[in-house]
Amino acid sequence: MRRSADEIAKMRKAGKVVAEMHECIRMAIRPGVTTLDLDRVGRDVLDRRGARSNFLGYHGFPAVICASPNDMIVHGIPNDTVLVEGDIISIDCGAIIQGYHGDAAFTVGVGSIASEAQRLIDVTEASLTAGIAQMYEGNRISDIGQAVQEVAEAAGFSVVREYVGHAIGTEMHEKPEVPNYGPGGRGPKLRPGNVFAVEPMVNAGDYGTRLLDDGWGVVTADGALSAHFEHTIAILDHGPEVLTLP
């Protein structure tokens, strides 16, 4: 789907709300806080900005953020588990403004963390940056994933296969999917007006996953750490614009 300048302007507004949720939640993350506390911080921002959550009620999801600590890859339901020094935590959330969606995620350490955990976080963020750099007219969808995969694997990590990025607009999850792996040169050509949520999930160990009994949380099969970064990005005539930045 190719979005008009007017539609992208609305998605820019939604993206700014998501960025503000990220900023406020990031400031609240410290040892002693629960992921349910962080969900409340996200709700406050949505209320303040008159935005709706695209997570709350999605197939029955009970919260406005996904909070996925340590070996959890994605889709963690916020609960009363207390975060402790040395944990890493992935936060994924979104917002709807005037019917248009934003969706973004980040991973951060709780207090001081192991250097290898920080390296996983930094490499995952760098893999997203590398993917975004491929978002030019004429490239194809899988060029994004190839760039993500190269950065992650060069650092000795693996990219999750079962969960992928997506087009986004008047729905959070639109077609086509945006995998985080190559080879490049495959899938639809990228066009101005396309808007995608690109979201590498990078594991310190193998890329295998396991679904928790709650039907939501996805963890690494081998119990190793996982990190997740995501932005909503519009492809414009001159290249990519990240919509989920402050």
Q: Which stretch binds Mg ion (CB under 5 A): 17-25, 27-35, 46-54, 230-238?
A: 230-238
Of residues 93 and 117, the one with the C-beta less far from Mg ion? 93
CB of 156 to Mg ion, least distance (A): 25
Among 87, 92, 143, 241, binds Mg ion (CB under 5 A): 92
**Distance (Å, whole) CA 216 – CA 195:** 26
**Site residue total, Mg ion (CB under 5 A):** 6
- Looking at the Cβ atoms of 125 and 199, the one nearer to Mg ion is 199
Is residue 204 within 8 Å of residue 150, measured between CB atoms?
no
> Which amino acid appears at position 205 of this protein?
G
Query: Residue 49: CB partners within 8 Å, gap ≥ 6?
Result: 17, 20, 95, 97
Residue 234 parent element (H or E): strand 231-236
Instruction: Compare residues 105 and 225 and give the one whose CB is closer to Mg ion.
Output: 105
- What x/- string results for residues 193 through 212 when contact with Mg ion is judged by CB under 5 A? ----x-x-------------
Stretch that binds Mg ion, among 56-64, 96-104, 131-139, 221-229 (CB under 5 A): 96-104
Q: Which two tokens stand for residue 61?
A: 């999801």
User: How far is CA 116 from its chain centroid?
Assistant: 21
Site for Mg ion in 6-35 (CB under 5 A): none
**Residue 103 near Mg ion by CB under 5 A:** yes
Contact by Cβ (8 Å): 230, 104: yes
Report d(CA 96, CA 168) in Å as an integer: 11
Interface with Mg ion by CB under 5 A: which residues? 92, 103, 105, 197, 199, 230
